[in-house]
Amino acid sequence: MRFVGRNGRNGIGIGVAAVLLLGLAACGGEAANTQPNTGGTGTTSSDTVDDAQITADLTEHHGHHHGGFTHLVILSVETLGGTPEQHDKIEKVRADLLAKTMPVRDANKNLLTVLADVLADGIATPEENAKVDGAVAQLATAASAAHAASADALNQLHEILDAAQRTTLVEKVQAHWQVWRQANAEEDKDNNGLPDAEERRLAHMTKLLALTADQVEKIKTGLKTAMANLPGKLDPAEVDAHVKAFGDAFVQATFDVKSLHTGEGVSSHLAAAGAGRMARFYTVVAPILTADQRTKLADHFRKHENAGPNLGT
């Protein structure tokens, strides 16, 4: 099954985005357990959803939540569906995966709390910079450990699903990785010196906080230098290779995730790279915002602190 958008478009259009957005909806409510229409050119209920808004919501989620490869799998499982006979088994595996990744969620929440402190001060002090770096490192360590701890649950998931469902899950993971990459990677396709991910984040924040033209220009100038010197940059090819290896293995009749030896490293690198970019962005932005803008942005952080894969709460 290929994800094909309305009017036959490929990529992150209605076909991919509508499926993945249902996973995000589970952050604040019940997980979606029905399989929506993901392709074709006919009219469906999904066609009424605005493509750009769906993509923006997905991108923002992946820009604030950095749980490594396992997080991509959990979001994919949430919209997988299944037969009535499979439902309880799939839910049990999903709950197990969520439990194994709870330290990652806590570490991500801690990072957002530390960044909120930076916003409160209006500038990152040396002590706060050290806390930010420590929070990013803690998140990377937690993501690696969660990947290792989730091995048995992933193997159980493979046993529960049939061949078509395994293929669908792989495609969902691939789609989430592409959205994550769009939200966090360092490509500069318009070649203006500012990575596309930061341009999108800045555009969203400009709308959220009503930034002035002068503020936007100051932020752009600061980001061009800060992002050029950002340590620990992610090589997307590393993740591409792992996603492909996972997909090739998972669709087979037999599967053991422990045979994929790159998973823990990829999870750690994904979490560190995404969290590091997010942290650098907000430490650059903080001194340029007004007190009211910082307060509003801190409230926005608190929304993300409490968001994540559905925990049944």
What's the sign of the alpha-carbon dihedral 205, 296, 67, 163?
negative
| 244 token code pair | 């492909």
CB 270 within 8 A of CB 208: no
Rounded Cα gap, residues 3 and 15, in angstroms: 5
Average pLDDT over residues 24-37: 35
Q: Domain limits of the chain?
A: 6-305
Q: Between residues 75 and 302, which one has the greater pLDDT?
A: 75
CA–CA separation, 192 vs 186, rounded Å? 12
pLDDT of residue 75 exceeding 50: yes
For range 184-213, the mean pLDDT: 89
- Confidence at residue 154, expressed as pLDDT on a 0 to 100 scale: 96
Q: Is a pLDDT exceeding 80 seen at residue 304?
A: no
Instruction: Check if the beta carbon of residue 27 is closer than 8 Å to that of residue 309.
Output: yes
Rounded Cα–Cα distance for residues 177 and 236 (Å)? 10
**What's residue 60's pLDDT?**
58
Tell whether the model's pLDDT for residue 46 goes beyond 80: no
Nearest C-alpha neighbor of 285 from the set 201, 219, 195: 219
C-alpha to C-alpha distance for 291 and 284, rounded to whole angstroms: 15
Check: CB of residue 201 under 8 Å from CB of residue 281. Answer: yes
- Per the document, the length of the chain is 313
**pLDDT band at residue 25 under the 50/70/90 scheme:** very low
Evaluate if residue 37 carries a pLDDT over 60.
Answer: no
For residue range 110-148, what is the model confidence (pLDDT) as tens digits? 998 899 888 888 888 899 899 999 999 999 999 999 999
pTM score: 0.75
- DSSP 8-state symbol, 241: H
At residue 53 the predicted structure's pLDDT band, cuts being 50, 70 and 90, is low
pLDDT above 50: residue 268: yes
